Amino acid sequence: MEEKDKRFFVLLNRAMEGVISDDDATTLRTLADSDERYAALYEACLGTATAYEDDLDETFDAHWKKIQTQQSAHPVEAGTPKIRPLFPKWARYAAAVIVLMIGTWYTYQYVGDHGEKQYVTQPGERMLVELPDGTSVRLNGGSTLVLQPGFGRKERKVTFNGEGFFDVKKDEKRTFSIDLGETTVNVLGTTFNLRAYENEDRIETALISGKVELTFAGKPNQDVIMTPGRKVSIYKQAPEQPVSPVAEVAADEPTGERIVWDDIKVTPGQVEANEILWTENKLVFDGDDLDRVAAKLQQWYGVEVVVGIHNAQDNLKLSGIFEDMPLDTVLQTIQRTGSMRYERDGDKVVLRPQNP
Amino acid sequence: MEQVHANELQELQRLVAYQRDEVAYRQLFKACYPMAMRFCKRFLHANELAEEAVSDVMMKLWLMETKLAEVRNLKVYVMQAVKNKAMDYLDSHRHQTLNEEYPEYLPAGTLTPEEAMISSEAVHAINQAIDTLPTKCRAVFLLVRESKCTYREAAEIMGISENTVNRHIQKAVNILAQKLGF
């Protein structure tokens, strides 16, 4: 073998191993260009990997469909133990999973009568969605996000019920606005957490970065502009007992009996603020009263949680962070704090204040 | 796979495992599918079989539920499963000539400037040469060439040492050199 050949083979082996210097790579390239045989071997070993140009989204859609058709072709009757042992172990779980999945698929891709697209999570389910404009929203349990017709063309309008962590793609020409009925949240490009369940008494916005503006229908001069690190709760009705202010209010932050300001807090040992820990699969109680604890458990575990008769002045406040814990563990832990007790019957939980 | 950072992949695995997140699963699919298909198509020489094998593996990722979060290196895991399926298939069809299904192999899409320098006959000769490699040697070679695996990854996928990977590659290069006129 010629000296030049040897050199070529050494460099080729190094290149394949991925341990070649830039200079040697250039030398190798030059050698390959100098001789047809070198060029062929170079191509054989290091040539562009076979192009793979199929549209991956289409491939994925077909993949989903395949999973669905497989399910209808091999229905597995729930509850019958007569599953053919021919199936690999994982296939035995397929029925339950696929039923769940089909449910998600339809709700996720649901297109409404007027061409609006909506994303829905069931209680107990959390989901990351990507909107056509590049915005991503992580939805907590029991949430609905509806894109208004023409979303992304001139403006970006959505309606929302539930809790979501929004990472809004910056686009100065098209404001992203979230219509919550009386309150509207306007943003350009920011990350923030919005908790706005229809059945809760307030709308909470916690701003991580960027700028957010809240406007109120029929009250043009009472806009609230937020700065990062702040959290604002807008009460739908003036609370029966005024909520004690928790943080100092800056001069440019409007106040009122229905507006309560707070700072975003990070619990020691955690990286993210309490308001967005749920996106890391952590269930957080942050000085929550009985009603709110019940609501959070219901949204998190998809069970029905009702609150027993209690006095509004009980003033129970619960704080704690739970990560990947079964419902019973959480309930037992709460009970052990001595503030509440629980009864659980299947998917129904009753929470009561601990008797004095 | 190259574009998706390992941390991101871990996060996607977790979302799919615990939250049954379909968008995350889609991203995971898109990160793994091309590298698996590139390997499998070249290895099996049968598009449909390759698609079936890769699709089975991808489906398993969804169906393994919370176990998915425990997978340490998803690339290795996926490629190992794909390789096993492809090997099984070759074993059970040892007496058939797979190449007949796929006589003319040309790279899809437009040619890069480097490829354009060598004629399409040369590309055909190259691909035929790769097909003559012994099975294991070919698997290792294609993992490195098509799926851009490092020697360490290839070793883990094949269940052999990095040294053995190195020997397989050198053997492959020598055989290819002979076939290509050295």
Please report how the helices B162-179 and B151-158 are oriented relative to each other, as an axis angle in degrees rounded to 10. Answer: 100
Please tell me the predicted confidence (pLDDT) of residue A296: 93
**B129/A44 Cβ within 8 A:** yes
Collect all residues of chain B within an 8 Å Cβ-Cβ radius of residue A9. Answer: 173, 177
Alpha carbon of A192: minimum distance to chain B alpha carbons (Å): 20
A272 to each of A269, A277, B5, how far by Cα in Å?
Answer: 9, 6, 21
Alpha carbon of A53: minimum distance to chain B alpha carbons (Å): 7
The whole-angstrom separation of Cα A93 and Cα A58 is: 26
Nearest to B20 by CA among A285, A302, A9, A166: A302
Contact yes or no for B106/B124 (Cβ under 8 A):
yes
pLDDT band at B141 (very low <50, low <70, confident <90, very high): very high
A312 to each of A183, A315, A353, B160, how far by Cα in Å?
Answer: 26, 7, 11, 67
Collect all residues of chain B within an 8 Å Cβ-Cβ radius of residue A91. Answer: 63
Q: Is the pLDDT of residue B3 over 70?
A: no
CB pairs under 8 A between A and B: 139
| Displacement of CA A343 from its chain's centroid (Å) | 30
Judged by a CB distance cut-off of 8 A, whether residue B168 touches chain A is no
Judged by a CB distance cut-off of 8 A, whether residue B22 touches chain A is yes
Exposure string over A216-236, b if 16+ CB within 10 A, otherwise e? beeeeeeebebeeebbbbbeb
Q: Select from B33, B38, B169 the Cβ nearest to the Cβ of A16.
A: B169
The whole-angstrom separation of Cα A301 and Cα A130 is: 24
Alpha carbon of A56: minimum distance to chain B alpha carbons (Å): 6
Give me the tens of pLDDT residue by residue for chain A, a chain 356 residues long. Answer: 678 888 899 999 899 888 888 899 999 989 888 888 888 888 888 876 666 656 888 889 888 888 766 655 544 333 333 333 444 445 545 544 544 444 444 444 444 445 568 888 888 888 888 888 889 999 999 999 999 888 888 889 999 999 999 999 888 888 999 999 889 999 978 899 999 999 888 999 999 888 899 998 888 778 888 988 899 999 888 777 666 666 777 777 877 778 888 888 888 777 788 898 898 888 998 888 888 899 999 999 989 998 887 765 567 788 888 888 889 888 988 888 777 888 888 888 998 887 65
pLDDT band at B46 (very low <50, low <70, confident <90, very high): confident
Query: What are φ and ψ of residue A158, in 5° steps?
Result: -135, 155
The whole-angstrom separation of Cα B144 and Cα A38 is: 19
Alpha carbon of A344: minimum distance to chain B alpha carbons (Å): 23
Higher pLDDT: B136 or B1? It is: B136
Alpha carbon of A34: minimum distance to chain B alpha carbons (Å): 11
Report the pLDDT averaged over residues B138-166: 92
Interface of B with A in 41-80 (CB under 8 A): 41-42, 55, 58-60, 62-65
Tokens 């079936």 map to which residue? B52
DSSP-assigned beta bridge partners for residue A329: none
Residue type for position B120: S
Please tell me the predicted confidence (pLDDT) of residue A246: 66
Exposure string over A73-97, b if 16+ CB within 10 A, otherwise e? eeebeeeeeeeeeeeeeebeebbeb
Beta carbons within 10 angstroms of residue A19's beta carbon: 11
Q: Is the pTM of this model over 0.90?
A: no
Alpha carbon of A41: minimum distance to chain B alpha carbons (Å): 6
Please tell me the predicted confidence (pLDDT) of residue A204: 94
A86 to each of A176, A302, A353, B1, B65, how far by Cα in Å?
Answer: 52, 34, 52, 33, 21
Collect all residues of chain A within an 8 Å Cβ-Cβ radius of residue B63. Answer: 90-91, 93-94, 97
- For A18, which residue in chain B has the nearest alpha carbon? B150
Collect all residues of chain A within an 8 Å Cβ-Cβ radius of residue B109. Answer: 51, 53
For A71, the token pair is: 């399910």
Q: Is the pLDDT of residue B102 over 70?
A: no
**B148/A281 Cβ within 8 A:** no
**B180/A281 Cβ within 8 A:** no
Collect all residues of chain A within an 8 Å Cβ-Cβ radius of residue B60. Answer: 90
Please tell me the predicted confidence (pLDDT) of residue A318: 84
**B107/A45 Cβ within 8 A:** no
**A63/B58 Cβ within 8 A:** yes
Alpha carbon of A181: minimum distance to chain B alpha carbons (Å): 28
Please tell me the predicted confidence (pLDDT) of residue B1: 53
Collect all residues of chain B within an 8 Å Cβ-Cβ radius of residue A66. Answer: 55, 59
Report the pLDDT averaged over residues B109-138: 72
The whole-angstrom separation of Cα A343 and Cα A352 is: 9
DSSP-assigned beta bridge partners for residue A184: A179, A215
Please tell me the predicted confidence (pLDDT) of residue A53: 58
Please tell me the predicted confidence (pLDDT) of residue B118: 59
**A126/B21 Cβ within 8 A:** yes
For B176, the token pair is: 């290819």
